[in-house]
Chains A and B, each alone.
Chain A
Amino acid sequence: MVRSALGHKTAQIGRGPRLGADYVPAATVVLGSLIAVLPIVSARGWWPDAGLLMLIGWRLLRADAWPAWWAAPLGFANDLITGTPIGLSVAVWSAVMIAMDVLDRRTMWRDYWIEWAIACVIVGLAEFAQWRIAAIMGASVPLSMSAGPSILVSVLCFPIAAYIAARLDRWRLGR
């Protein structure tokens, strides 16, 4: 039997979840939304939707990162911070949580590439919804010009969000 107290430095004694570990995932989603507060004036709007990427990153990593209904208030905060029409992120993010619950029931296993593909589909649909709402509000930009590059950039940024989520998950649980 190995005694923890006499073991080497990686022993698990005295280590556990950090204070407020339950709130770290949601806080990083809000931080992702807050990237929009940076004083950068973008002419094209091709920046990734960082809040949504963090949401997907956490949800793909864990089903219990937060209670599913938290997606609504998180989306509301995202709407207020980024200036998208109020209700768009609330609806889209809640729909993402429901879709992921359904997906969890249907899939037997997942690997890195499947998760990336899921993120691609979700980001694409979210951008399409945003583009459609903008068109209804009087800004009918061609899809290839605004949503296309934006989807590509977001999809390429997803591994970064997934990496941040995975590292923070280990940190918050003290592993």
Chain B
Amino acid sequence: MAASAGPRPGWSRRAQYSLFFSFLAVVGGLLAGLIMLILSLVAPQSYAVVRGAALDVTAPISGALSEVTTTVTGLVGGAGDYWNAANQNGQLKRERAALMRRMVEARAILEENQQLKAALQLRERTEQAVAAGRVVGSSFESPRRFAVISVGSSDGVKIGMPVRAPEGLIGRVIESGMLASRVLLVTDRANIVPARILRGGQPVISTGRGDGTIDVRPLEVGKNPFKPGDVIITSGTGGLYPPLVPIAKVIRLDDDGAIAVPIADPARVSFAIVVPPYEPAALEVASRPDSGTL
């Protein structure tokens, strides 16, 4: 194929000038882009309104499409359930009996726990959800890991609030529109969560790796404390994330830490629950743009 239209549009002065001005305009566009980029690096807050508005426009589309996909997968899954209903029934009955036994044990432990806590005079904060929504989308092509949830500032969501699912921690809100918010997932490199190992309670730091896994490292240098299968939970240090929320499960050890996969997979969780920060004072720190550590 021959090269497309050359630099000189002919002898017409008018055409030459218009080509020249369009060149000036694209250079202007480049400069404007660079200035906007520097502004979004230095002061990301300046775009909060326009980003929120964009979220409000796109998230309902994602939400509607995600309703369609869940309905379709639900229909397929529902038909599959009928296929082996008898088998499943027997299995569920056995599981239910086992769960009943476990529940009685758990209730006994809970009561004992309450008595012990009362004896220690611990102040128990009730964890109340601010809002609950669906995960409707995510960043597709980027080293960053964001998700979009279908609740926004009209539901009381504020920037910096932790987001969790019934299964475990998802991340924290970094942008919020009226109807939707963007969440920095725990798998993002910039999201650093103070945590501890459920078994033994040793304090660790959890950092995303940007590829769907999480890097966990112990705070103290020494023997590698992790074992494959260990569950990592939030410690509540820093005051933003509530304590005792599961974050990840260790799958592989490396030299001084371990690689873990998040327990609440944003692709599969049914609901994302926005909860207030554990210590209200932590919200102001968390809503600052450059606060990776909390």
Contact = CB atoms under 8 A, between A and B. Distances in A.
Interface of A: 34-50, 61-64, 67-69, 71-72, 75, 80-95, 97-98, 101, 104-105, 107-111, 130-131, 133-141, 145-147, 150, 154
Contact of B51 (A34, A39, A69, A80): A80
Interface of B: 1-7, 22-23, 25-30, 32-41, 44, 47, 50-51, 54, 58, 61-63, 65-66, 69, 135-148, 182, 187-190, 208-212, 265-267, 290, 292
Contacts of A67: 22, 25
B143 A49 contact: no
Contact of A136 (B29, B41, B54, B265): B41
A97 to B, nearest CB: 5
Contacts of A95: 30
B153 to A, nearest CB: 17
B30 A134 contact: no
Given A37-B62, A137-B190, 17 more contacts: A37-B58, A40-B137, A42-B140, A63-B5, A68-B22, A71-B26, A71-B29, A75-B29, A85-B41, A86-B36, A91-B34, A91-B37, A104-B4, A104-B5, A108-B3, A130-B142, A139-B210
Of B141, B145, B188, the most chain A CB neighbours within 10 A belong to B141
B33 A82 contact: no
Contacts of B190: 137-139
A-side binding surface: helix, strand, loop or mixed?
helix
Q: Which 3 A-B pairs have the closest CB atoms?
A: A87-B36, A72-B29, A90-B33
B146 A83 contact: yes
A121 to B, nearest CB: 17
B49 to A, nearest CB: 12
Contacts of B187: 43
Contact of A88 (B7, B37, B267): B37
Among A45, A80, A85, A101, the most chain B Cβ lie within 10 Å of the Cβ of A45
Contacts of B54: 80-81
